[in-house]
A and B are shown apart, each in its own frame.
Chain A
C-alpha cells in the first residue's frame, strides 16, 4: 500500500534533502521548522493494461461503445498528445501506442479505411519521424507515416476550419481534418491536473487565432491555478470552445493517468524520502552526483535526455470529454494531492533538467522561468503555497544557452523583448503580434523543428500569475546575466538567497519546499 503524501516539519533529525538543479542535483539543509511537501508514494498500476483499455473502449462514460461509433466509409481521426507529455518520456511501449493500436484494431474490424493520425502539437515544434515513432510505436508508424500520420500545422490556412465563436466572442479555429471527421478520437496522457479535458482538442488542434483568447497575460494572471481547472480562466475558455467543437464533431476522449514512477530504478533515490535511503541509495547518489558533475556538458545532456520513466498506468477512462476528465482528475489527485495547512513566506523549488518544451533540446532561461514560475508555482489548489508578496527561491543554473534549431524566436525574445520590458502586459501589447506573424518564424515552424514565433510569449504569460503574486524571485546558482535579463536576482547559495529575501519576508520567514519531481499538487487551505 503506497503511503499518502505529507508535509514534513524540519527538525534536528532531518537529513539534508534532495534538490534538483538543472542537469544535476544536490543535498540541501533547511532551517529548522521549514515545511517539506512530499508527494504520495507511487500508486500501483492497473494489473492488465490491455484489458483496461478494452474495458474503457467498450464501456465508455456517456457515450456509445467505440465499435458502435465505427462504420465503413467514415472519416476517423485519431489525435494524440505530443512529446511534451509525459515527462520524462515514457519507457516503451508508450501508453498512447497501446491505446491507438486498440482503436485501430476496432476500426479495421469495422472496415474503416479513412484514418488519419494527428499529433496535437498546436504551436509546439513538429516532431521528427523518430519522435513520432516513439509515441505511436513501430507498427502504427510503418502503416501510416508520412501521409496519414502527421504533425498538426497551425499555419496551414487551407487545413484549418473556423467553427464559430463562443458566447464570450472567442474564435474556435481548429484542424479541418479533425473538425470534418465523423469521429475524433483523442488519446491523452494526463500527467498533471492541467492536462486533458477540452484542453486536448480545443487547444492541441487550434491555431493562433483561437489560442490568443486564452493564452494571454490577463487569462494567465486569473488562472488560480491552472492546475485547478475549475478556478482557471484558461480552462474555462477551453471548455467554452470545446462545447462549440462538440456541436460540430463527435469527440471520443480517451484519458490515461500515470503513477509517480518518474525515474528509472537505478535513480531510485530520486523518489525516496531521504531518511529512508539505504546504504545503496546513498552510494548511488554520491556516485551519480560526482559522475554527472565531472561529465562534459554534452555527455551530461545526452545522459539526462535519454532517461525514460517506468511509469505505470493508474487508470484509463473513455467517452464524453467532461465526465471522462472528472474521473481522470480524481485519479491524478489521488496520486499527487497533498494537504497543506496554510501559506508560507517563502516557496523553495528545485527545477529539474526537463520541461515540456525542451525534450531532446536545451532548457533556455525562458523555459527555466516558465518551469519554475509557471508550472511548479501553480502546483496548488485553493491558495498558492507562498503568500501574496512572499518570495520564491528557485534552484537552477539558468545557463545563457538556446537551441537555435528548436527555439529561434526565444533567442530574439530574450535579446529584443526582455531587454525592453519583463512585464507580460507590456510585452503582449508591444511585441506579440509581430512575433506571431513573422514570416521567418512561421517558415521555421512549418518546415523545420522550431516552436512557433509566439511561443516564448506564452511561456512568459505562464509566469504572469506568479510574477503578479510574489514579491521577490531569487535563483540559486543562476547565471547572473541571464537572470538579470529576466528582471530577477541570483544568489550563490541557498543561505544567501534567504538573506536576500529577508528584505521582503523578514529574518525568520516560514519556508516551504515543494519536494518535486515526482509531482505533488498542494491543496493549501
Chain B
C-alpha cells in the first residue's frame, strides 16, 4: 500500500453529499441504473430528473412507475415501500420536458449527467441529429440560462471512434467534420425527401402498389395505404441517408456519427463548464448491482443470442478472433459516479472509455463458445418439438454470409409472388404463413448482419488508461461497491451464467417455454359490457356458404331457359369469365354490376319462384353448419344479426330466417315485371359496408367496438376493421396474413371434419 497516492480521494458518497444531481434519460437503461444507484448508495445527494410525459402519464407518473420496477426492489426491501413511494417530490424533483425542448432548470445544480439519447442504431438522419445533437445543445443552453455552473457529464459511446483500426486513446476525437454543417444538411435531407416523395411519378408509384394490394377494399383503403407507403419511403430514405453519410465520413452508422458530432459540439459549447465525456462500449446486463443479471429491454446482443438459441442464426459475419467489447451496466454506473465525483477544471475536459477490450478482451469465438455452452446445457424448448439444436458457426466471412442472405431474399420474393395468386385453401394459407415466418427471419438477419458487420469486423483497440487510473484512485472502502476494473470480469461466468441466463429467462417467462397459441374468438356469454346493442355482421358468399356470384347467377337463370338458350348462356358466361375475374381484382363493385347486367330481361317473380323451388336446396346444402351455429349463437346471446352481401336479395331468401336484418343488392324491376339489369342502389362492397355499419351504429345506438363481423376476403377488410371482434373465415391469403398480424381469430367453417385434430379431442 506504500505506492498508494498520499492524498486519498474522499468516498464517492461523501464527495456528492449535499449536491444536486440532474439526470436525463432515467427511463432508459443507463439512466435507470444510475438513478437506482444514487438512491441506494448516495443518501446525501439530491436528484432532479428530466422526463417527458407519454400517453396519459405525466412525468411524475412515469417516475413513480419507474420506481416500481424490479431494479428498485432492493431499495424497497431496505427502506420500505412507503419511503420509496414518498421519494417523488421530496428527494427526487421531476421536471417535465422533452429534448430538445428543455424546461427552465434549477439554478443550484452541481452535476448534470446526460444519458438521454437516440437508442436506435439507424434512426432517420434528422431524428438522429435532433436527439443526439440538438437535444444536447438545448440542455447546455438551459444550464447556461439557469445560472448553475455544474459539472457536465456527457455519456457518449466508445464507438464514436468510427471505423478506424488500431488504438483509440481517451481524448478528443481526431476529425475535422463540421457538426453545424452536417446538422443543417440533415434538416435539408428531410425536406428534400419529403419533396421527392411528392412528385407525381413517385405518388403514382405508391398508388399503383397500394392498388395492387388493396384494390378490392376500395378507394379509401388504397389511399390510406399509398400515404402509408409514402411515409415509409421517406423514412427509409432518411435512414439510408444517415447510414451512408456516416459511412462516407468514417463512422459505422448514424448513431455513432451523431454521437461524435454531439461530442464535438459539447467540447466547443461547454467551454466554461467542468466537462467529462464518458465512452462506454456495448453495455449488457449487470454483474452484481442492482442484482446479478438485471437488464432492461433488449439491447445490442440479446436478439442475436436469442436467435442463436432458437437455432435461427446459421452463421455470423464477424471475424472470429476480433474483439467484441462488452461491459456490464454496473461498471458503467460506477465509473460514471466516480467521474462525476471528480470535477475537472473548465476548459480541460476529462475523457474516460469504459470498456473491456483493452485489458480483458473477449473474442467473438469465445463469446460464441460460451453462448453455445449455455444453450447446450439449457436448450430452449420449441413447442412440441423438444429442445432446439444450436448451430455451429463456420465463420465463412461477411461476403459469403451476405451472398447467402441475398439468395434467400430473392427466393422468398419469387415464392411470395406465387402464393398470393393461389386459390384459397388451407394449404396456400399454410404456405403463406411459412413464407411470412421465413421473411421475418430473413429481415431479422439482414437487419442485424448490416448493423453488426462494422462492429463485428471492427479492429478497434480501445485504451482505458485514464479509466483504470480513476478506478485505482477510488477510496479503499469504495472499491468493493463502486469498482469498475474490466480486468476483473470472469467472462465464462458473466456470459454463460449471468447474461445469457438472464436474457433467456425473460423469454422463457414470457412464453412459458412455448410459442403463443392461435387467437380464438371471444365467447358469447353476454358478460361483456357494451354501450349499446351488439351486432354480428356476416358476409355471405364464401363465408356462410361456398358459392360465388357467377355460380348463383347460373342457378337462377338456367332453369328459366330452354335447352339451346341454356347452352348459349353457359358459353357466354364462360367467355366473359376472364374479363370478370380481372375486373374483380380491380374493383368488386364494378364486377358485381357487370354480372348483374345479365339479369336484364329476367322475370323477377319467376326468379323468386326459382329460388324457392330449386335454389333453396342448393343453398341449404352448401351452408356451412359452423356458420349457422355461429349466427344462432349470436342470436341467442341477444345480438342483432345482420347479413351484408353483394349478392342479390332473392338469393338471401333461404337464410332469411337466421338474420334480423339483411342488406343485399336489389335488382331494379321495370313496369313489365322484368329486371332492367341495373341495381336500385350501388352494391354494398368494400368501404361502403363499413360506412353503412357506422351510419347505422350512430342511428340505432350499436356498439361497434363490442360487435362482431365475419368475412372471408380482403375486400371485406373495411367491414372487419369497423368492429371490435373481427373473425376471418376461410380467408384468402391476403386476409389471412392481415388476420395473423392483427391477432384476429381465423376459423375454418367449410371443413366438416376437424382437419388434424387428434382422435377424441374437442374442436
Neighbouring B residues of A450 by C-beta, 8 Å: 620
Mark B722-763 against chain A: 1 for CB-CB distance below 8 A, else 0: 000000000000000000000000000000111001111011
- With beta carbons under 8 angstroms apart, the residue of B622, B658, B760 that contacts A481 is B760
Contacts A412-B629, A484-B760 known; A405 to B658 CB distance under 8 Å?
no
Binds B, one of A206-214, A396-404, A491-499: A396-404
Contacts of B629 in A (CB 8 A): 412, 415-416
Contact with B along A65-98 (1 / 0, CB 8 A): 0000000000000000000000000000000000
Residues of A within 8 A of B28 (CB): none
Within 8 A of A (CB), among B20-78: none
Is A273 interfacial (CB 8 A cutoff)?
no
| Chain A residue nearest in CB terms to B622 | A404
- In the bound complex, how far is the Cα of B632 from the Cα of A485, in angstroms? 23
B residues 565-595 in Cβ contact with A at 8 Å = none
Task: Report which of A404, A440, A480, A485 forms a contact with B621, defined as CB distance below 8 A.
Answer: A404
Name the B residues within 8 Å of A318 (CB-CB): none
Question: A448: CB under 8 A from chain B?
Answer: yes
Contact, CB under 8 Å: B621 / A481: no
A366 to chain B, nearest CB (A): 13
- How many A-B pairs have beta carbons closer than 8 Å: the answer is 58
Output the nearest chain B residue to A411 by Cβ-Cβ distance: B625
Q: Are A448 and B616 in contact (CB under 8 A)?
A: yes
B369 at the interface (CB under 8 A from A): no
B623 in the interface, Cβ–Cβ < 8 Å?
yes
Q: Helix, strand, loop or mixed for chain A's interface? A: helix
Complexed CA–CA distance, A401 and B50 (Å): 67
- Chain A hits for B753, CB < 8 A: 400-401, 479, 481-482
In the complex, chain A residues whose CB is within 8 Å of the CB of B757 = 481
Is B657 touching A415 in the complex (CB atoms < 8 A)?
no
> Is A419 a contact partner of B632 (Cβ separation < 8 A)?
no
Q: How far is the CA of A450 from the CA of B759 in the complex (A)?
A: 29
**Minimum CB distance partner of B627 in chain A:** A404
Residues of chain B lying within 8 A (CB to CB) of residue A479: 753
Q: A415-B625, A481-B757 are in contact. Are A448 and B620 (CB under 8 A)?
A: yes
| B-side contacts of A439, CB under 8 Å | 657
Q: Are A484 and B759 in contact (CB under 8 A)?
A: yes
Contact B617 A402 (CB under 8 A): no
Check if A415 sits within 8 Å of B763, measured CB to CB. Answer: yes
Q: Which residues of A contact B679 (CB under 8 A)?
A: none
B87 at the A interface (CB under 8 A): no
List residues of B (483-499) whose CB comes within 8 Å of A's CBs. Answer: none
Within 8 A of B (CB), among A484-525: 484-485
Min distance, Cβ A117 to any Cβ of chain B, angstroms: 21
Pick the residue among B617, B628, B758 that contacts A448 (CB under 8 A): B617
Q: Report whether A443 and B657 are in contact in the complex, using a CB–CB cutoff of 8 Å.
A: yes
Q: Does A449 contact B (CB under 8 A)?
A: yes
Is the Cβ of A404 less than 8 Å from the Cβ of B763? no
**Contact A402 B625, beta carbon cutoff 8 Å:** yes
Q: B752, A400: Cβ atoms under 8 Å?
A: yes
A398 → B minimal CB distance (Å): 11
**Does A444 count as interface, using CB distance less than 8 angstroms?**
yes
- CA–CA, A416 and B628, complex, Å: 13
* Residues in A neighbouring B658, C-beta threshold 8 A: 440
With both beta carbons as reference points, the residue of chain A lying nearest to B763 in the complex is identified as A415
In the complex the two chains form, what is the Cα distance from A402 to B620 in whole Å?
Answer: 12
Q: Is A402 in contact with B752, judged by CB distance below 8 angstroms?
A: yes
Contact flags A459-484 to B (C-beta < 8 A → 1, else 0): 00000000000000000000111111
Interface membership of A408, Cβ < 8 A = yes
Flag if A401 contacts B752 (CB, 8 Å): yes
Alpha-carbon distance between A404 and B654 when the two chains are bound, in angstroms = 13
Tell whether, in the assembled complex, residue A481 and residue B620 are in contact, meaning their CB atoms are under 8 Å apart: no
| Nearest Cβ on chain B to A161's Cβ, whole angstroms | 27
Contact, CB under 8 Å: B752 / A405? no
Proximity bits, B614-653, A CB within 8 Å = 1, else 0:
0011001111111011001000000000000000000000
**B residues less than 8 Å from A481 (CB atoms):** 753-754, 757-760
Q: Are B760 and A405 in contact (CB under 8 A)?
A: no
Given A401-B752, A403-B621: A440 in contact with B628 (beta carbons within 8 A): yes
1/0 per residue, CB under 8 A from A, across B432-459: the answer is 0000000000000000000000000000
Q: For residues 255 through 301 of chain B, which have their beta carbon under 8 Å from a beta carbon of chain A?
A: none
Which residue on chain A has the smallest CB distance to residue B545?
A404
A411–B758 CA distance with the chains assembled, in angstroms: 19
Centre residue among A404, A408, A479, A482 by max chain B CB count within 10 A: A404
Instruction: State which of B622, B624, B657, B758 has its C-beta within 8 Å of the C-beta of A440.
Output: B657
Q: For B625, give its contact among A408, A482, A483, A485 (CB under 8 Å).
A: A408
Nearest opposing residue in chain A for B753, CB measure: A400
Determine how close the nearest CB of chain A comes to the CB of B14; give it in whole angstroms: 73
Bound form: Cα–Cα A415–B753 in Å: 10
**A residues 381-424 with Cβ under 8 Å of B?**
400-405, 408, 411-412, 415-416, 419
Residue of B nearest to A361 (CB): B621
List B contacts of A403 (CB < 8 A): 621
CB neighbours of A400 from chain B (8 A): 752-753
B763 proximity list for chain A (CB < 8 A): 415, 419
Which residues of A sit under 8 angstroms from B622, Cβ to Cβ?
404
Q: How far is the CA of A90 from the CA of B624 in the complex (A)?
A: 33
Q: B760 — which chain A residues lie within 8 A by C-beta?
A: 481, 484-485
Please name all residues of chain B whose beta carbon is closer than 8 Å to the beta carbon of A444 when the two chains form the complex: 620
Chain A proximity of B642: nearest CB distance (Å): 17
CB atoms of A412 and B625 under 8 A apart: yes
In the complex, which residue of chain B has the Cβ closest to the Cβ of A410? B625
Closest to A481 in B: B759
Question: In the bound complex, what is the Cα–Cα distance between A68 and B752 (angstroms)?
Answer: 56
Interface string of B650-669 (1 = CB under 8 A from A): 00001001100000000000
Q: Report how far A401 CA is from B763 CA in the complex, Å.
A: 16
Q: How far is the CA of A405 from the CA of B752 in the complex (A)?
A: 14
B625 touches A480 (CB 8 A): no
Taken together as a complex, chains A and B put the C-alpha atoms of A482 and B763 apart, in Å, by: 12
CA distance A229 to B654 in the complex (A): 42
Residue of B nearest to A406 (CB): B621
Q: How far is the CA of A415 from the CA of B633 in the complex (A)?
A: 14
Chain B residues contacting A402 (CB-CB under 8 Å) are: 625, 752
Chain A hits for B626, CB < 8 A: 415
Chain A positions within 8 Å of B654 at CB level: 448
- B617–A405 touching, CB < 8 Å: yes
Q: In the complex, what's the smallest C-beta–C-beta distance from A411 to chain B, in angstroms?
A: 4
How far apart are B631's CB and chain A's nearest CB, in angstroms?
Answer: 9
- Note all chain A residues with C-beta closer than 8 A to B752: 400-402, 411
Closest chain A CB from B29 CB (angstroms): 51
Residues on B with C-beta less than 8 A from A404 are 620-625
- Complex-state Cα separation, A443 to B757, whole angstroms: 33
A482 to B654, CA, bound (A): 29
Q: Write the nearest CB–CB distance from A352 to chain B, whole angstroms.
A: 22
Q: Which residue of B lies closest to A480 (CB)?
A: B759
Which residue of chain A has its CB nearest to the CB of B632?
A: A440
Q: Is there contact, CB below 8 Å, between B625 and A405? A: no
Q: How far is the CB of A318 from chain B (nearest CB, A)?
A: 37
- The 8 Å CB contact of B762, one of A405, A411, A419, A482, is A419
Contacts A405-B621, A415-B763 known; list 10 others, CB within 8 Å. A404-B621, A408-B625, A419-B763, A440-B658, A443-B657, A448-B617, A479-B753, A481-B753, A481-B754, A481-B759
A-B contact pairs, 17 of them (CB 8 A): A400-B753, A401-B752, A402-B752, A404-B623, A405-B620, A412-B629, A415-B625, A415-B626, A415-B629, A419-B762, A419-B763, A440-B632, A443-B657, A449-B617, A481-B757, A481-B758, A481-B760
Q: A residues within 8 Å of B by Cβ?
A: 400-405, 408, 411-412, 415-416, 419, 439-440, 443-444, 447-450, 479-485
